[in-house]
Amino acid sequence: MKTVAIYSSKGGVGKTATAVNIAYTAASSGKRVLLCDMDSQGAASYYFRIKAKKKFNSQKLLAGEYGKYIRGTDFENLDLLPAHFSFRNLDLALNSLGEKERRMTLAKLLKPLSADYEILLLDCPPNLTLLSENIIEASDAVVCPVIPTTLSLIALEQLLKLFGKLEADKKKILAFFSMVERRKSMHASVIEKYQRYPLFLKSAIPFLAEIEKMGLSRLP
């Protein structure tokens, strides 16, 4: 099983749209996919019209008692573990664990899923916390959408610093420019300057009204 996190410490860069569309594309190609909505705001869950059951919460997630709360979507091969509002407290729960185990908790919790899924996607909240460290440790790749603006680039720099702190392999980071409007001189100049670096994928996603409308259609 390959575990892929969609992550940025900055909100509004297209993380959830990226996670939902990667999940749908992979499932459409025949891969068995689970999308875990790790963000307490539950945007990915909203797209798939799925709500977490009342009995599901962050405590049950950390206890490994999440299997029965995984839901099928309307799309073949694609399941969802919906977010719960209590996920906002995941950092507090992780912080209460022993220092040696707290960073690897998520990796251990998700490992049993390899029996049922080929791809595990994590739609992550926009922050730099102990949960972020867990996500990095648990992931084979960290996909980072970057709008070609200063603040979005700062978020990428913060991610690189976090990788350095954890002594994690920075080759796991797959950054790409999203919501690109090439008619904007700043977007064009930033892409020209940074896309040559190995950190960035060669593909860039333009700003599209269709992506914004995903929230209305609630479809990939």
Long-range contacts of 97-102 (CB under 8 A, 24+ apart): 102/130, 102/134
CA separation for the pair 7, 126 (Å, rounded): 7
In tens digits, the chain (220 residues) has pLDDT values of: 999 999 999 999 999 999 999 999 999 999 999 999 999 999 999 999 999 998 999 999 999 999 999 999 999 999 999 999 999 999 988 988 877 788 899 999 999 999 999 999 999 999 999 999 999 999 999 999 999 999 999 999 999 999 999 999 999 999 999 999 888 999 999 999 998 899 999 888 888 756 665 655 666 7
- Please count the structural domains in the chain: 1
35/74 Cα distance (integer angstroms)? 13
Q: Which sign does the torsion angle of CA 205, 208, 210, 214 carry?
A: positive
Contacts of 57 (CB under 8 A, 6+ apart): 84, 86
CATH code for position 194: 3.40.50.300
For residues 90 and 131, is the Cβ–Cβ distance under 8 A?
yes
The range of the structural domain enclosing residue 66 comes to 2-217
